[in-house]
Structure 1
Amino acid sequence: MTTPIPFPADQPAHSLDYWLSFELARVSPATAPSRLRQLADAQGSLAAAWSSAIAAGPVFILAGGTVSLMSNKPVWMLTLGPLGAGLFVLGVFSWKRVRATLPNTERLLISRGPGSARGGIMMVSALAAILGGILAPALPGISARGAASLAGVICIYLITVALLAACILVPSVVMGRARQSFRRRIRANPDLRKAVEDDLASWRDPYGNASYGPL
């Protein structure tokens, strides 16, 4: 009689494609924890931070050019221009690197901004309205000084709103799509997929008997 071969203790019960399925994600509550969601959210937090740098870089360049043009002092462009360009290049490089590797989930990542595009739009809109409400009473007096003064204040207001969008709205959009983006990149990037498959083979819930997915 042939002795049955025991199932290896370290062999995952389900494949990665099983955990990546849309159907499984739909029937699972969005707040239910899983290893895949932990990886996606951690990677999304890092990518969101660097996406803010990518978006803020051009705003700094625009601010430097605008202030230099209005004040006829090129020092603003010479200062904010390279700063914005460096921030943009560093953001793009780090954003690509973060999205291509698995995050270290042992490090505590705290995100205090909105976690969705809707939340980001609401926050930026509220802050823009508050800032506009503060500036509105002063506009008649500024307008009396001339059109250039009024244009300067409006430009500063718009640049401030753009900076708020770069620091709040853009990261919130990235965070809101972190899990969908993670699933798509696992299927498109062989190196990332291999890293996740290796993690699936070795990961065990240290606090209980939680499953690896869904995403």
Structure 2
Amino acid sequence: MSFNYSQPPTPQRPLHYWLESEVAKLSPQHTPSALREMAWRFGQWRGFAAACAGIGVVGLGIAWLLAVWRPQIIWLWALLIVAALLLMVLCPLISKLKISKIASGKSPMLSRAAASISAGVGAAIFLSAIFVALASFALDPWFHMGAKGITCAAAVYALILILMTSVFVLPGYFAHYARRDFRRHIDQSPSLRTQLEHMSQTWVDPVGNQSFGPL
């Protein structure tokens, strides 16, 4: 006599059932599903684009500081400007391309980015305090150079805050609200909704017994 201990497959349900917030509340937050993995990738790519945009702004700020203090090194700050602009343009395009293929059924992205707002804010505050303290020692002579030095020192502090916010807080925000924002994205994208409608009726987990929803 043999026994089959495998779980029965989850009944196929229409997409609108899995998107209902009440259905999502009935399932533990950490229970995996195909829709939740898509939402995670969605949030990760949006956080990636936001972080790159912030880093690009910081690059432009550093280029400005170099132009102020070392105007003769034109090639360096010009190169920084070009690199920063490319980063601000290409990364959102890559993010948009990846999001357009979000319903691919691939495994979730591995990421070291903050997974929540609180984690992102905590990391940003901690590292900002360290860098601001170090900058205060390094920039002390600037505070004795009049308005130019004070303005540039203030710009350095601002760039530190922008960098930490971009790298930690924004990815944490998009990860924290990934499911909510992905639900809105589905509502605003007819092609994605059509694709997910089909997947909800034909979904079979290729490696286990993970259900298609809820979100």
TM-score (norm: length of structure 1): 0.81
Is the 8 Å Cα contact of residues 103 and 196 (structure 2) preserved in structure 1? no
- 2:159 maps to which residue? 159
Choose 149-158 or 125-134, whichever is displaced more.
Answer: 149-158
Q: What one-letter code is carried by the residue in structure 2 that aligns with 1:116? A: S
Encode CA deviations 1:1-36: one digit per residue, 9 max, x unaligned.
xxxxxxxxxxx6311000000111123221111111
CA distance in 1 between counterparts of 2:143 and 2:55 reads 29
Do 2:103 and 2:195's aligned partners in 1 also have CA atoms closer than 8 Å?
A: no
Return the alpha-carbon distance in structure 1 between the equivalents of residues 107 and 33 of structure 2.
17
Give ranges in structure 1 of 5+ residues lacking alignment: 1-11
- Could you list the per-position Cα deviations for residues 28-58 of structure 1 after superposition, in whole angstroms to 9, with x for gaps in the alignment? 2211111110111123223322222222222
Report how many residues are paired: 205
**C-alpha distance in 2, partners of 1:52/1:132?**
20
SS of the equivalent of 2:209 reads: coil
Deviation at 1:207, TM superposition (A): 4.4
Cα 1:95/1:108, change in 2 over 3 Å = closer
**Alignment of structure 1 residues 124-139 onto 2, 5 Å:** 124-137=124-137
Task: Tell me how far apart the structure 2 counterparts of residues 54 and 136 of structure 1 sit (CA, whole Å).
Answer: 26
Deviates more, 1:99-108 or 1:38-47: 99-108
SS at match of 1:85: helix
- Matches of residues 50-199 of structure 1 in structure 2 within 5 Å? 50-73=49-72, 74-102=74-102, 104-107=104-107, 109-137=109-137, 143=143, 146-147=145-146, 148-149=148-149, 151-199=151-199
Considering Cα pairs closer than 8 Å and 6+ residues apart, tell me whether 1 or 2 has the greater RCO: 2
Residue number in structure 1 paired with 2:8: none
Distance 1:105 1:16, change over 3 A: closer
Give the superposed CA RMSD.
2.6
Q: Unpaired runs of 5+ in structure 2?
A: 1-10
Between the aligned residues of both structures, percent identity stands at: 26
